[in-house]
Chain A
Amino acid sequence: MQVACIVAFFGAWQIGSSSGYLDPLIVPSLSAIAVAFAALLHGGALWSDAGVTLYELAIAFALAAGAALSAGFVISRSALAVRVFDPLLAGLYAVPTILLFPSYLLFFGIGPPSKIALGATMAFFPIVLATIAGFAHVAPLRLRAARSMGASELQLFWYVLLPEAFPIVLAGLRMGLVLGFLAILGGETLTSNAGLGHQIVTAAESLDPPKMFAYIVVAVGLAVALNAVTSYVEQRARNTTA
């Protein structure tokens, strides 16, 4: 039944296009999109733009993860620090990060760096919050038990803190990656000179909707792939440490 609904959706779309009900300048037919998509795959432009987007993501994520993991861990060591910073960070998280984008544009210009900055900012928060949550709220009972057995700080970290915190931190990293990707796409859509988002806008403005949709398909595909890969990693990690 689920399959039937999806098939019905796409079927209706195709019928709408071929019957002329859907304005081809706005919603192109599925076949046109397929053609454009194939053209993208064969041309070189797709890879360079997708590459730009992924490159921005990689750097943004690395920066965010590095900063967030270290900051989060340090904060988690002190209950007072947690009480001070956790609400602060959670509050900042609530502000739409996209608001900072204009200032990044001003500072970094319209090239990749402004997107990297945006992605990094966006990814930072879920990672740092998850790190704090993971390390600060480790079952105190288990810590006490390990301490009473004479575990050293290093052993405590390795045998209790890390395994307990790991799934939570991993979930945070995953969120950071996905949100970072979305932020970068957003930044590229708003103002940029390269990348998938940029191509979508260009295709839209040059009245080439099939190409635009084809790029959207690529973006969706990437998002799904990212999600799938990170889910898989999370699942594997959960199985080995559970």
Chain B
Amino acid sequence: MSRDAGVLRLGVIALFVLIWEVAARRFGNPLFVAPPSETLVAAFGLLHDPDVLRALLAAFRELVIAFVIAVAAGLIIAVPLGLSSFWRGALFPLVLILYAIPQVTVLPLFVRIFGLGPPTKIAFGVTHGVFAVILAVVAGIRNIDPILLRAATSLGASRRQLILNVVLPSLIPSLFTGMRIAMSGVLLGVLLAELYISTTGIGFFSQTFTNAFAPAKLFALILILATIAITLNELMRVAERRFNLWREG
């Protein structure tokens, strides 16, 4: 039965592509829309264009760096916060306030501070991802099965041993959930920064294609980026699932 659903889903996608193709050719103004066939051809072209490739690679590099920093910073901030109910109560409202600010509004500020290059994109990605990690890790720490802590204490574990051997391993499922959400956050942040800074990188190309009314290339660029986004997301989901394996049920 689920195979039927899968087949139908492919059918739906195919239908959509077909409608897009027909509608774009028949009714679409070639200045604004491009059919999938042309989009694919353009995508192929873009992937062979060294400048575009360089921009894509740069963006990817920024993504990875931002992600790593976000996870590391998130862990460093969250573990002490999670372990100490005092600081958690004190600082959490502050964290939530910062979290509530629509981050896109501070993008121009980031550009002023970090300039027009990769650091801005990385920094913006980090701020988008770090909160997810912090929230997930703090929740993970608070949800540690108390029986495990009692068992380890009765076995004579020191505080250090408790943290290393019980708290951190228990955290791993929550950490991976946080990482999955952080990845989409970092992706969004880097993408936003890239699109905003239209002097180089992806933003440059999206701006250029838009101004030149080249929808095929623009759609192609979007398609490539979307594919990267979906792939990364899937990777994180698989990783999350794998590390949740030891959970019962």
Seen from chain A, the residues whose Cβ lies within 8 Å of a Cβ on chain B are 1-2, 4-6, 9, 25-26, 80, 83-85, 87-88, 91, 94-96, 98-103, 105-107, 181-182, 185-186, 189-190, 196-197, 200-201, 203-205, 209, 212, 215-216, 219-220, 223-224, 227
A96-B89 in contact (CB<8A) = no
Chain B residues whose CB sits within 8 angstroms of the CB of A106 once the complex forms: 32, 209-210, 213, 215, 218
- Measured between alpha carbons, how far is A189 from B196 in the docked complex, in Å? 8
Binary contact track B177-203/A, C-beta < 8 Å → 1, others 0: 000000010011001100110000000
Residue B14 at the chain A interface, CB threshold 8 Å:
no
Known: A88-B9, A94-B230. A1 touches B222 (CB 8 A): no
- Measured between alpha carbons, how far is A95 from B5 in the docked complex, in Å? 22
Chain A residues whose CB sits within 8 angstroms of the CB of B108 once the complex forms: 189, 200-201, 203-205, 212
Chain A residues whose CB sits within 8 angstroms of the CB of B90 once the complex forms: 1-2, 4-5
A102-B5 in contact (CB<8A) = no
Query: What's the least CB distance linking A216 to chain B, in Å?
Result: 5
- Measured between alpha carbons, how far is A2 from B88 in the docked complex, in Å? 9
Chain B residues whose CB sits within 8 angstroms of the CB of A88 once the complex forms: 9, 12-13
- Measured between alpha carbons, how far is A209 from B33 in the docked complex, in Å? 39
- Total interface residues in chain B, CB < 8 Å: 52
A101-B195 in contact (CB<8A) = yes
Seen from chain B, the residues whose Cβ lies within 8 Å of a Cβ on chain A are 1-2, 4-5, 8-9, 12-13, 32-33, 86, 89-94, 97, 100-102, 104-109, 111-113, 184, 187-188, 191-192, 195-196, 206-207, 209-210, 213, 215, 218-219, 221-222, 225-226, 229-230, 233
The chain A residue with its CB closest to the CB of B5 is: A83
Can you sample 17 A-B contacts with CB below 8 Å? Answer: A1-B86, A2-B89, A26-B109, A84-B5, A87-B9, A99-B222, A102-B210, A185-B102, A185-B104, A189-B108, A189-B196, A196-B105, A197-B104, A201-B108, A205-B108, A216-B109, A220-B101
A98-B97 in contact (CB<8A) = no
Known: A5-B91, A95-B229, A219-B102. A107 touches B222 (CB 8 A): no
Given A83-B1, A102-B207; 12 other pairs, CB 8 A cutoff: A2-B92, A25-B112, A96-B191, A99-B191, A99-B225, A100-B222, A106-B213, A182-B102, A189-B196, A201-B108, A220-B102, A223-B101
B12-A186 in contact (CB<8A) = no
Chain A residues whose CB sits within 8 angstroms of the CB of B221 once the complex forms: 102
A189-B218 in contact (CB<8A) = no
Query: What's the least CB distance linking B215 to chain A, in Å?
Result: 6
- Measured between alpha carbons, how far is A231 from B215 in the docked complex, in Å? 40
Name the contact of A107 in the complex, choosing from B1, B33, B102, B209 (C-beta under 8 A).
B33
Name the contact of B210 in the complex, choosing from A5, A105, A196 (C-beta under 8 A).
A105
Known: A88-B12, A102-B206, A204-B111. A216 touches B230 (CB 8 A): no
B100-A189 in contact (CB<8A) = no
Known: A87-B9, A101-B195. A1 touches B89 (CB 8 A): yes
B229-A6 in contact (CB<8A) = no
